[in-house]
């Protein structure tokens, strides 16, 4: 494979493109809303109208507005249709010939679409994820060629550093620094790992990227492999995403066949192989040391850091671990230059971020905005505010490790530092809107229950602490607790946060602490309601609760 071959493939792809393309979403959200049947009907209608030479029906990735799926778009006129059914689908084809379209129109000029940015999702909803040619036609794998032929590994790392890219898994560690550390650590082998164990409930950005543009992630990983000196990559994908796994497998196979992965890539001495490891439903495996234990076939329990994976990771070798979205940014940065990327976002948070906007909001789906965009623009302009005349009470970010941001802070710019200041975190990108009907104590208990279930059991503060915190929250919620329970709750939160082994335990109290901080009145109302007469004295149970 040479650059000219890439150009040939791209040229062929463009030459074979009929004048009209009908794009039908084939990502998991729309698939559950029956898009495969819609696709079938569209193809059938094109056949029976004899338009095969003029119209192509393409199964593309996510078009972002998941709540209105299945979505269908006609190109070049850009007309977008929502909630398309197998019955209304053929009318879209009839419309091309001047017929009446019965499918429901979706306003493509609505703020939901126009206020968004496109870096990570630039190909999502535009190209067919299951065809490598479609990716190559939008300059796919060109960045990998450029890196292998024109740049030294050090220059690649420098480019990533200059771009200001920070880890999109949530913590926001500078990606360039991480790459440089792995590159300089000695090891007889090195590994690149892509964390696709998107366990935060309410987050599906990684799933969408993998289902809509899988080659983008593979290319980013290969570039990272070259930069740090690794020849083996793993994608650790959660088992709950069968479609993403299937598309990844297909993409890896195609890339291997084309010589874009494997040995002597682009006739250079660089070899890079990617294997998939499928998770088996353990939230803690999103933590990097637990994830690596799982890749090596063991129980996914974390180990103390240091040593960091960059020194001793998989099989004791230096290992680079990044999130799907981090890798998805890499090829674009190489192609368009670090200055372009650094021009997006704020001073310390560069680029864009993909969020999953869900919960009590009109438009639910995938949202990509420049970092630093005010929360209000995301929730009210793009999201359309709370449905049914409700009012937004809080926005939850960062999943079980994050916090609830109350409505009065909606003007906060969304970047790593501002969210941390409010006691939440950026997290991987889940953004759940809550309205006046949501009980914040219940929310705190919900997340605590989650952490209790998902605690791996290795360290006591997390294993026992989350159980006790859950009991306390349940008692408060049932109006059976007194003021002393509230003090206990807060003290125990601090303890679990300060003494747990890994990120799961250290951040488990965050939703509770942030709801106490901003919505103390709701807790106090429940304490009042209890009154001394109703309080049940429940002794704190022994630290090991094996009954679950």
Partner 1 sequence: MTAEAAKKPPAHPSGDKRFKLLEVAMKRHQFRQDALIEVLHAAQELFGYLELDLLLFIARHLKLPPSRVYGVATFYHFFTLKPQGKHTCVVCTGTACFVKGADALLAAVSKQASVASGATTTDGELSLLTARCLGACGIAPAVVLDGKVMGHQDAATLLSELKGRLPDGTLGPA
3-state helix, strand, coil in the chain (%, to 5): 45, 15, 40
Q: How far apart are CA 446 and CA 3, in angstroms?
A: 52
Q: In angstroms, what is the minimal distance from the CB of 59 to partner 1?
A: 17
Q: Does 510 participate in binding partner 1 (rule CB under 8 A)?
A: no
Residues 221-250 that bind partner 1 (CB under 8 A): 239-241
What's the start-to-end Cα distance of the chain, in Å? 56
Q: Does 318 participate in binding partner 1 (rule CB under 8 A)?
A: no
Question: Which residues are CB-neighbours of 164 under 8 A, at least 6 positions away?
Answer: 174, 338, 341, 342, 345, 348, 350, 351
Contact flags string 67-106 toward partner 1, x per CB under 8 A: x-x-------------------------------------
Q: Between residues 28 and 265, which has the closer beta carbon with respect to partner 1?
A: 28
Strand partners for 405: 395
Q: Does 532 participate in binding partner 1 (rule CB under 8 A)?
A: no
Q: Between residues 117 and 356, which has the closer beta carbon with respect to partner 1?
A: 356
Q: In angstroms, what is the minimal distance from the CB of 12 to partner 1?
A: 35
Q: Between residues 128 and 198, which has the closer beta carbon with respect to partner 1?
A: 198
Q: Between residues 203 and 252, which has the closer beta carbon with respect to partner 1?
A: 203
Q: Does 287 participate in binding partner 1 (rule CB under 8 A)?
A: no
Radius of gyration of the chain (CA): 25
SS3 438: coil
DSSP letter string, 210-262: HHH-HHHHHHHHHHHHHHHT--EEEEEE-TT-HHHHHHHHHHHHHHHHTTSSB
Q: In angstroms, what is the minimal distance from the CB of 259 to partner 1?
A: 23
Among 170, 399, 413, 509, binds partner 1 (CB under 8 A): 399
Q: Does 209 participate in binding partner 1 (rule CB under 8 A)?
A: no
Q: Between residues 21 and 246, which has the closer beta carbon with respect to partner 1?
A: 246
Among 41, 128, 197, 200, binds partner 1 (CB under 8 A): 200
Q: Does 313 participate in binding partner 1 (rule CB under 8 A)?
A: no
Question: Which residues are CB-neighbours of 242 under 8 A, at least 6 positions away?
Answer: none
Q: In angstroms, what is the minimal distance from the CB of 36 to partner 1?
A: 11
The CB density around residue 182, as the number of other CB atoms within 10 Å, is: 27
Q: Of 298, 434, 419, which is closest to residue 361 (Cα–Cα)?
A: 434
Q: In angstroms, what is the minimal distance from the CB of 328 to partner 1?
A: 16
Q: Does 540 participate in binding partner 1 (rule CB under 8 A)?
A: no
Residues 44-63 that bind partner 1 (CB under 8 A): none
Q: Which stretch binds partner 1 (CB under 8 A): 250-258, 278-286, 466-474, 480-488?
A: 278-286
Q: Are 323 and 167 in contact (CB under 8 A)?
A: yes
Q: In angstroms, what is the minimal distance from the CB of 69 to partner 1?
A: 7
Among 294, 349, 428, 455, binds partner 1 (CB under 8 A): 294
Q: Between residues 376 and 445, which has the closer beta carbon with respect to partner 1?
A: 445
Q: Of 78, 68, 83, 71, which is closest to residue 21 (Cα–Cα)?
A: 78
DSSP strands (E only) in 309-360: 319-323, 352-359
Angle between helices 214-228 and 153-163 (to 10 degrees): 120
Q: Does 391 participate in binding partner 1 (rule CB under 8 A)?
A: no
Q: Between residues 160 and 405, which has the closer beta carbon with respect to partner 1?
A: 405
Contacts 24+ apart (CB under 8 A), 343-346: 344/117, 344/119, 344/370, 344/371, 345/164, 345/370, 345/371, 345/372, 345/415, 346/371, 346/372, 346/413, 346/415
Q: Does 120 participate in binding partner 1 (rule CB under 8 A)?
A: no
Distinct helix (H) and strand (E) counts, the chain: 22, 14
Residues 325-354 that bind partner 1 (CB under 8 A): none
Strand partners for 272: 262
Q: Which stretch binds partner 1 (CB under 8 A): 28-36, 253-261, 264-272, 534-542?
A: 28-36
Q: In angstroms, what is the minimal distance from the CB of 428 to partner 1?
A: 12
Q: Of 441, 497, 511, which is closest to residue 473 (Cα–Cα)?
A: 441
Q: Between residues 6 and 194, which has the closer beta carbon with respect to partner 1?
A: 194
Among 358, 401, 455, 514, binds partner 1 (CB under 8 A): 358
Contact flags string 430-469 toward partner 1, x per CB under 8 A: x-xxx---x-------xx--x--xx-x-------------
Q: In angstroms, what is the minimal distance from the CB of 493 to partner 1?
A: 20
Q: Does 203 participate in binding partner 1 (rule CB under 8 A)?
A: yes
Q: Between residues 234 and 341, which has the closer beta carbon with respect to partner 1?
A: 234
Q: Are 152 and 330 in contact (CB under 8 A)?
A: no
Q: Between residues 69 and 413, which has the closer beta carbon with respect to partner 1?
A: 69
CA distances from 397 to 180, 449, 493, 508 (A): 30, 17, 19, 13
Q: Hey, what are 147's tokens?
A: 């890196």
Interface with partner 1 (CB under 8 A) = 28-29, 31-33, 66-67, 69, 198-204, 207, 239-241, 277-283, 294-300, 356, 358-360, 364-366, 396, 399, 430, 432-434, 438, 446-447, 450, 453-454, 456
């Amino acid at each position: 494979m040479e650059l000219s071959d890439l150009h040939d493939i791209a040229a062929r792809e463009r030459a074979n493109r009929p004048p009209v393309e009908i794009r039908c979403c084939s990502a998991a959200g729309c698939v559950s809303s029956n898009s495969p049947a819609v696709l079938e009907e569209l193809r059938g209608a094109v056949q029976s109208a004899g338009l095969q030479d003029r119209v192509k029906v393409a199964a593309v990735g996510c078009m972002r507005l998941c709540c209105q799926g299945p979505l269908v778009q006609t190109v070049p006129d850009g007309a977008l249709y929502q909630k398309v059914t197998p019955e209304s689908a053929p009318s879209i084809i009839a419309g091309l010939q001047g017929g009446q379209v019965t499918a429901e129109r979706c306003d493509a000029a609505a703020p939901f679409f126009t206020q968004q940015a496109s870096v990570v999702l630039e190909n999502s909803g535009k190209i067919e994820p299951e065809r490598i040619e479609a990716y190559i036609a939008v300059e796919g794998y060109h960045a990998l060629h450029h890196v292998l032929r024109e740049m030294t590994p050090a220059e690649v790392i420098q480019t990533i550093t200059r771009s200001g890219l920070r880890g999109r898994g949530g913590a926001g560690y500078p990606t360039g620094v991480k790459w440089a550390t792995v590159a300089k650590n000695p090891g007889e082998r090195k590994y690149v790992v892509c964390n696709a164990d998107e366990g935060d409930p309410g987050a599906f950005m990684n799933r969408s990227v993998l289902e809509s543009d899988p080659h983008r992630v593979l290319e980013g990983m290969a570039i990272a492999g070259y930069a740090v000196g690794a020849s083996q990559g793993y994608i650790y994908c959660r088992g709950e995403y069968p479609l993403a796994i299937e598309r990844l497998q297909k993409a890896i196979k195609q890339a291997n066949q084309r010589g874009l992965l494997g040995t002597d890539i682009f006739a250079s001495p660089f070899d890079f192989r990617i294997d998939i490891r499928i998770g088996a439903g353990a939230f803690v495996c999103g933590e990097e040391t637990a994830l690596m234990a799982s890749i090596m076939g063991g129980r996914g329990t974390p180990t103390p850091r240091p040593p960091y994976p960059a020194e001793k990771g998989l099989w004791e070798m230096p290992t680079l671990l990044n999130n799907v979205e981090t890798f998805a940014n890499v090829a674009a940065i190489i192609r368009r230059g670090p200055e372009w990327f650094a021009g997006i976002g704020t001073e310390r948070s560069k680029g864009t971020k993909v969020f999953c906007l869900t919960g009590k909001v009109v438009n639910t789906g995938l949202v990509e905005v420049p970092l630093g965009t005010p929360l209000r623009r995301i929730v009210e302009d793009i999201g359309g505010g709370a449905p049914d005349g409700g009012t937004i009470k809080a926005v939850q970010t960062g999943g079980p490790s994050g916090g609830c941001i109350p409505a009065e802070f909606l003007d906060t710019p969304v970047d790593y530092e501002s969210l941390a200041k409010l006691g939440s975190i950026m997290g991987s990108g889940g953004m759940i809107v809550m309205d006046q009907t949501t009980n914040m104590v219940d929310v705190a208990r919900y997340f605590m229950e989650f952490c209790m279930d998902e605690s791996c059991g290795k360290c006591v503060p997390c294993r026992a602490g989350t159980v006790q915190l859950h009991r306390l929250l349940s008692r408060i919620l049932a109006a059976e607790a007194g003021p002393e329970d509230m003090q206990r709750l807060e003290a125990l939160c601090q303890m679990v946060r300060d003494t747990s082994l890994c990120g799961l335990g250290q951040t488990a109290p965050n939703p509770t602490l942030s709801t106490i901080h901003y919505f103390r009145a709701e807790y106090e109302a429940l304490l009042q309601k209890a009154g001394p007469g109703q309080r049940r004295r429940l002794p704190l149970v022994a630290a090991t609760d094996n009954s679950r």
